[in-house]
Amino acid sequence: MNKYMLRKIQLAVLALFVAVSMTACDSDDDGAASGSLAIHTVYQHTKKSTTRVIEKARLGTMIRLEGTGLATVREIYCNGYPATLNLNYVTPTSVIFRIPSKAPVGSECDPEVANTIRVVTLGGECTILFLIQDEAPSVSRLSHTLPNPGEIITIYGSRLREIQQVNLPGGVAVMGDGIVEEDEDGEFIRVRIPEDYADEVGGAIEVVSANGIAYSRNYFNRRKHIVNSKFYAEDSDGFQTSNNYCDDCQSGSHGYYGWGSNVATDLTETIPATGDGHKSTDNAKFGNRYGAIPGDSESGALPATVPVLSGSDNAYDTGALGRAIFNGCACYTRIIGLTKELGEEAITTATPLSKLAIQFDVYVPTKWSSGRIAYVAVDGGPDYMSSYHPWLVTTASGKEVVPVEMKGWETVTLPLESFPAFVGETVLYLQKAAASGEWTYQSFITFYNDQVAGAPAPTEISNFCFYFQNLRIVPYEQPEAPDEDEEEEA
């Protein structure tokens, strides 16, 4: 029996105890108005419903207790934590309050008071069993979406606690020792990819916890969505494409050429060579190939000092550290119909760009806290560009610089609607734009050490180089987690 099913049984048993615990409690008749103190029923009390009987609720949920002897309620405790009480919501037969969002749950709670609501009146008190759950978990991003078998990925989000199992696309469950680490603040978990995990199936990762289910976006393991793996002059990848917008795309020739300035391509040495970080991806179809900026075809990567772009520099046209250039139109055509074979909704020319994202993998071996890796989808100006600068972190107090030190490759995800020109557009617009740009068909990956919005002034970077591989266009939708309460009601 796996941990997920065991937890279901535990919850069912607790629900039974909850049902039988709502009986009369100790009270002093002089202080308990309108009968002896007793809690008979707990109701959900939200905009969704005020009449549904419940046996569990999450932190922050508004509930209503109904019973007798409640007129003089003065204190309520949830898992031993005091709830805010408004006496306007107290009557002889009911009391309405919100379960405190800071009440301890799970392993953080004293076992003596776990899953209890204690009601204190002027004449006595009453304690009932009631399952109190943390807020549902959520997943915000993944460290790498094309990991090699045996590697450890980090799943970031919130309330990622008491994890029971992680389900990978294809129905592969990771449990037990496969869940390597849980952050005590619930901000991430680390999960080992099974050695025999197949790379044919892509989709969303499902995280199952004691407090609910969460999903990543459906962009994990999308190897079939790679449209440029090697960034090399003869990089056709064996794909043939066709559309009505450019001859190169129609014939398939030069569809994935790679060239540019200050760039090395078709590199094959596994990096990083040591450590437990993500290594450059090696797979049967594409091999282990990647590019580097700055660099050249003879020497490979050439780490260099990167000066700050001055105010007179035109970052888009002349300020790039280097460029890996390829035929974007062919790449954007490659995705048409790609997901149909996977049993999903096919990507067509009418697919909204809000449902898609650009992904590629990068590795920066030195500490990084200035500048940005940029992807230019169409050579038509800054509105067709989106950037990656993970060192600039949003906190409760605003933007903060946290230098990045990568232990291995990480996946860059740029939603296509993060490009100003693509807001509200479809794949058809993307194809046409790529085929009619100032420099027809060109797209490129580059680096600018210029001012990033919301960040301090940029600084010179020493011994800098970044590596990149596996350009892909992936679905960008997040499945909705099931509402356990609604499931039970149905």
Report pLDDT digits (tens) over 280-294.
876 655 556 888 999
| Mean pLDDT along residues 194-206 | 87
- pLDDT winner (highest mean) among 283-292, 395-404, 439-448, 458-467: 458-467
- Predicted local distance difference test score (pLDDT) of residue 239: 35
Indicate whether 158 pLDDT > 80: yes
Indicate whether 31 pLDDT > 50: no
Nearest-angstrom CA–CA distance, 103 and 81: 5
Indicate whether 384 pLDDT > 70: yes
- Predicted local distance difference test score (pLDDT) of residue 221: 92
Q: Residue 230 — very low, low, confident or very high, per pLDDT cuts 50/70/90?
A: low
> How many CA atoms within 13 Å lie on the side-chain side of 305?
3
Q: Residue 213 — very low, low, confident or very high, per pLDDT cuts 50/70/90?
A: very high
Higher pLDDT, 466 or 397: 466
> What 8-state DSSP symbol labels residue 89?
G
**What backbone phi and psi angles, to 5 degrees, belong to 271?**
-135, 150
Residue with tokens 């660099």: 295
Indicate whether 9 pLDDT > 60: no
| Mean pLDDT along residues 80-107 | 94
As a residue count, the chain comes to 490
Indicate whether 325 pLDDT > 90: no
Residue with tokens 């535990």: 10
Indicate whether 417 pLDDT > 90: yes
C-alpha closest to that of 315 among 387, 368, 366: 387
- pLDDT winner (highest mean) among 255-259, 299-303, 367-371: 367-371
Indicate whether 7 pLDDT > 60: no
Indicate whether 402 pLDDT > 90: yes
Higher pLDDT, 242 or 146: 146
- Torsion angle, alpha carbons of 12, 14, 15, 21, to 10: 150
Residue 279 Cα distances to 128, 276, 372, angstroms: 53, 8, 22
Indicate whether 152 pLDDT > 90: yes
- Average pLDDT over the chain, rounded to whole? 82
Q: Which domains does the chain have, with CATH numbers?
A: 3-133 (2.60.40.10), 138-221 (2.60.40.10), 226-475 (no CATH)
C-alpha closest to that of 135 among 488, 484, 392, 487: 484
Q: Residue 244 — very low, low, confident or very high, per pLDDT cuts 50/70/90?
A: very low
Q: Residue 199 — very low, low, confident or very high, per pLDDT cuts 50/70/90?
A: low
Per-residue pLDDT tens over the stretch 421-432: 999 999 989 888
Q: Residue 259 — very low, low, confident or very high, per pLDDT cuts 50/70/90?
A: low
C-alpha closest to that of 78 among 28, 37, 50, 114: 114
Coil, helix or strand at residue 331: helix
The first and second tokens of residue 321, run together, are: 């550290």
Q: Whole-model pTM?
A: 0.81
Indicate whether 33 pLDDT > 60: no
Contacts of 163 (CB under 8 A, 6+ apart): 179, 182, 189, 207, 208, 209
Indicate whether 434 pLDDT > 70: yes
Q: Residue 323 — very low, low, confident or very high, per pLDDT cuts 50/70/90?
A: confident
Percent of the chain clearing pLDDT 70 (strictly above): 78
Q: Residue 385 — very low, low, confident or very high, per pLDDT cuts 50/70/90?
A: very high
C-alpha closest to that of 63 among 104, 37, 94: 94
> What 8-state DSSP symbol labels residue 278?
P
- Lowest pLDDT segment from 211-225, 235-249, 454-468: 235-249
Per-residue pLDDT tens over the stretch 52-85: 999 999 999 999 999 999 999 999 999 999 999 9
- Give kind and range of the element (H or E) at residue 123: none
